[in-house]
Structure 1
């Protein structure tokens, strides 16, 4: 079921997010104070509006409180992003997601009403670093400072072995939650006797230190 999203700030992050949401058949309103950015993103969003998100009356006139989620993606003006969250909170927006430029900025956004705070640049840097250090890692999702989910491309070292033979949970304290096959189909909770094939990808969850030990084993 599609939802209604409003994305405030159509810079690189905001426009990419808006486009992805639109492609998934959601109703997306793009808001930016810059007319040029609205024009540049005509194809990325179904509706684009030039407006100042720190102006309570302007946001009220757009019916902003009726959207399921409003994302404050302002990337170059910390004050504007904070004030925008304050305005959205005052207007009764159900769920506010805000982009933070720093940890301090993120703390302030949370204090003034953001339900979720995201750090795109930091998170992307972590993902790139993880891939550079561990070439077998396809995707990396940090759940907390202690836990992560990883997609691990299996090596020749474990190809042909069954999950029960590898006994990953007992040996590494890591749980296999799915296997993604070469045709991109996914098997959730694969059977213990499933034998891994050359192009399979393991989706695993666990403590970061334990995941590193699994990576070392897989890379042998």
Structure 2
């Protein structure tokens, strides 16, 4: 399977967190910022890092924007720079664009010029967004520590009609199911004979590396 290719433009706390997390999940990541020191700092934690003027179309075009599956625009506070970067990557043919917004007005402008998704996030949300955009099954991602995390997972098609015993999540994926959400009900501490239905949400806890493996299996 071809590795996903991501470009992250704007390497503040949020953008850096997204870029590093996507890279640890095994993706090709180009990190871009106009600040040389920031680019130098992240270089060892991504596939490629580049210092360019993020509002200059030619500079971004030279980086081969059309080759990327997803662009994450991490510029939030500088509204004009955020809008320009979003507009440029859209025109250069990036397939899916996620932009960080400063407020609701900013978000509306981003959607109008072509952003596919707009997020309102702070520093500690970068990892969560990275996991969500990499694997569409991951609804939410909560860091308990650098080594352990909780994930909300849309049940994969392969699990439908099977019990937790049949799936054996712990043995096969290294995860522990701590709850199942169905419609408005939450089954806390589900039993081995509980059956997974379409659209169930699985709440699982596990080591970071095991959740990463799961994402690689069921990622979009």
The answer on whether the counterparts of 2:14 and 2:124 sit within 8 Å (CA) in structure 1 is no
- Distance change in 2, residues 1:177/1:67 (3 Å): closer
- Residue correspondence of structure 1 range 112-191 to structure 2 within 5 A: 112-121=113-122, 141=140, 191=163
TM-score in terms of structure 1 length: 0.60
Matches of 1:192 and 1:50, distance apart in 2: 48
Cα drift, residue 140 of structure 1: 7.6
Cα drift, residue 101 of structure 1: 1.6
Q: Max radius of gyration: which structure? A: 1
CA distances 1:150-199 after superposition (whole Å, capped 9, x unpaired):
96xxxxxxxxxxxxxxxxxxxxxxxx959xxxxxxxx76553999xxxx8
The answer on whether the counterparts of 1:177 and 1:203 sit within 8 Å (CA) in structure 2 is no
Matches of 1:177 and 1:92, distance apart in 2: 32
Q: Which residue of 1 aligns with 2:108?
A: 107
Q: Which runs of at least 4 in structure 1 moved beyond 2 Å after TM superposition?
A: 121-124, 187-194
Q: Which residue of 2 aligns with 1:202?
A: 179
| Other structure's SS at 1:37 match | helix
Cα drift, residue 46 of structure 1: 1.7
- Distance change in 2, residues 1:36/1:122 (3 Å): closer
Matches of 1:109 and 1:96, distance apart in 2: 10
The answer on whether the counterparts of 1:29 and 1:46 sit within 8 Å (CA) in structure 2 is yes
Q: Which residue of 2 aligns with 1:67?
A: 68
Cα drift, residue 68 of structure 1: 1.0
Cα drift, residue 122 of structure 1: 10
Matches of 2:110 and 2:24, distance apart in 1: 28
CA distances 1:114-147 after superposition (whole Å, capped 9, x unpaired):
11112223995xx9xxxxxxxxxxx984xxxxxx
Higher relative contact order (CA 8 A, sep 6+): 2
Q: Which residue of 2 aligns with 1:35?
A: 36
Q: Which residue of 2 aligns with 1:47?
A: 48
Structure 1: runs of 5+ lacking an equivalent:
128-138, 142-149, 152-175, 179-186
Q: Which residue of 2 aligns with 1:76?
A: 77
| Other structure's SS at 1:87 match | helix
The answer on whether the counterparts of 1:8 and 1:31 sit within 8 Å (CA) in structure 2 is yes
- Distance change in 2, residues 1:201/1:85 (3 Å): same
For this pair of structures, how many residues does the alignment match?
158
The answer on whether the counterparts of 1:74 and 1:81 sit within 8 Å (CA) in structure 2 is yes
